[in-house]
A and B are shown apart, each in its own frame.
Chain A
């Protein structure tokens, strides 16, 4: 297998194949950076177009876009508090406060370095460990996946914000939105009101653009100012000067492992990886109180994890045909177009293309620092200097394009506007938005797997606790929920003892 890996390398450097990666990374950063446009949308628009391309050109474009977009999403997340892609939600937590303190430049540099490192770690996992990691995926049946979802939902506790009642309302809203569509088992309609467009449920990008992008646009238009967003003072310094000061090794390693792990599990995807990495980094931080107010390590934690699940999400996609993220699902279509059918045979039948694709992922991640670090970041920061009304109107157009292009229908645009109105009210009344996102991603997912597990157990809940993997996940969930209060008690106890 490793010989195949080396054999595939020269072809990756063929001009068209390498150029595809470069163009892909740049296009990905641009797509990610445009509020409203997402990697899922970009790749689904690209797939029909790739029928006429050589496999490695098409795959190189996709690998580049995926890597680039996962970082690009951080740019508006930091500068405008609009996550450019679903996975960049956690980047807003500390990135936006940093920008407000005039450290937006640093936040973007931390983001690009972390993204790149996460992408590199993930690419290595894909290249070297794909077969053994796909065995790990096999361990996760419906009951295990149910516990993974519960584990993710438990982390909502840390995202509730200042007012837990409002946080829980957000979470319930998110879970409720996730059940819209056809029932996961019987296929009967739930809350679709006869609309065929609602049968497949509400796409995460529609909700995200509505909730996160529309309220800031209204803000841009609401404030009667003719100036741009204050980004002239990003506080940028050359990246080689900033680099030695980034000492987030623990966070980077932890985030990479979390991202890779979430990636190989089917279904959950980039945003969950970023949330979990952010939570874990904060929990182990010595100064957890500074998080959420502009802690660069928070940006590092979120960005390393959302890139670390890119290539690893392709491990179950390539070996088992089950994509780990929404983007990987679209990419799977791109592979099939070129006659690359997922399965254990894939690596033997098309080694040059498959391993070449893996190399392209690695180079895409490396190129990210070069292209994202200097060129793209600075020019995008300039764009945000546009007068507010103009910036607002351009974002409105991008939102419409981004949402329309997912399925090619206006229905989704109207749905997005509805969520936008809800999002505006939530924003003004300080309801936290992250629980909505996590609830939407994990709510229906948990339900589906619980019901599958119960069917397998013929209604007996004992099936949920029957094996070690499930029990470990249950223990982890309990640790996440009661851990912080136990730790606090322990510390308080020690203090009084002294």
Chain B
């Protein structure tokens, strides 16, 4: 508790409120270029967001002044960041390398990385999921998934 003054601005709610104010203020710039009638509703919402976030900020800082500790967002930030990273990686891989390859790699990779390590189970799950998707979407409905931008010319 010695470093409380430094931590007060790093409370998750305070950070979020500051973030909303910054982003909403940023959006006000393109809003100002719209014709007045088009700008009315978005401007009202952005100003509302800024005002409400300031209220949230004040409330959170009062709590901080009272000495309430803020609950951390997560117990294991590494796992959360890892999960987000893998999901983003999967989307990028689908886009650039192709859907089926990426999916066949991602399912076992994610499950393995997060604690499910049974090789047979991984194999069966991957085959079932990819196979079913192919059978229904590609074979049954002729629905195309991305084939990968890298391979296009």
Contact = CB atoms under 8 A, between A and B. Distances in A.
Interface of A: 45-46, 48-49, 165-166, 168-169, 172-173, 175-176, 179, 183, 185-186, 188, 190-191, 214, 217-218, 221-222, 224-226, 386-390, 392-394, 396-397, 400-401, 404-405, 408, 410, 413-414, 417, 420-421, 424-425, 428-429, 443-444, 447, 451
A191 B30 CA distance: 7
A202 to B, nearest CB: 13
A214 B83 CA distance: 10
A247 B145 CA distance: 47
A106 to B, nearest CB: 30
Contacts of A410: 91, 94-95, 146
**Do most interface residues of chain B lie in helix, strand or loop, or is the interface mixed?**
helix
B131 interface: no
16 contacts: A46-B141, A168-B48, A172-B49, A190-B42, A218-B84, A221-B110, A222-B74, A387-B121, A388-B116, A390-B111, A393-B108, A393-B110, A396-B87, A405-B137, A420-B87, A444-B41
B38 A188 contact: yes
A109 to B, nearest CB: 27
B49 A394 contact: no
Contact of B74 (A214, A389, A428): A428
B115 A225 contact: yes
Interface in B28-59: 30, 34-35, 37-38, 41-42, 45-46, 48-49, 52-53, 55-56, 59
Contacts of B82: 221
B143 interface: yes
Contact of B133 (A46, A397, A414): A397
Contacts of B52: 165, 168-169, 172
A443 B88 CA distance: 30
A397 B106 contact: yes
B114 to A, nearest CB: 4
Nearest to B76: A222
Contacts of B27: 176, 191
A166 B17 CA distance: 10
B95 A166 contact: no
Contacts of A186: 35, 38
B115 A169 contact: no
B19 to A, nearest CB: 9
Contacts, number: 160
Contacts of A188: 34-35, 38
A451 B36 CA distance: 12
B12, B16, B112, B140: residue with the most chain A Cβ atoms closer than 10 Å: B16
Given A165-B52, A429-B16, A447 B41 contact: yes
Interface in B103-153: 103, 106-116, 121-122, 125, 129, 133, 137, 140-146
Contact of A190 (B38, B125, B137): B38
Contacts of B75: 222
A429 B48 contact: no
B146 A392 contact: no
Contact of B110 (A166, A183, A392, A405): A392
Contacts of A392: 83, 110-111, 114
A226 B121 CA distance: 13
A48 B107 CA distance: 30
B141 to A, nearest CB: 5
Contacts of A397: 103, 106-107, 129, 133
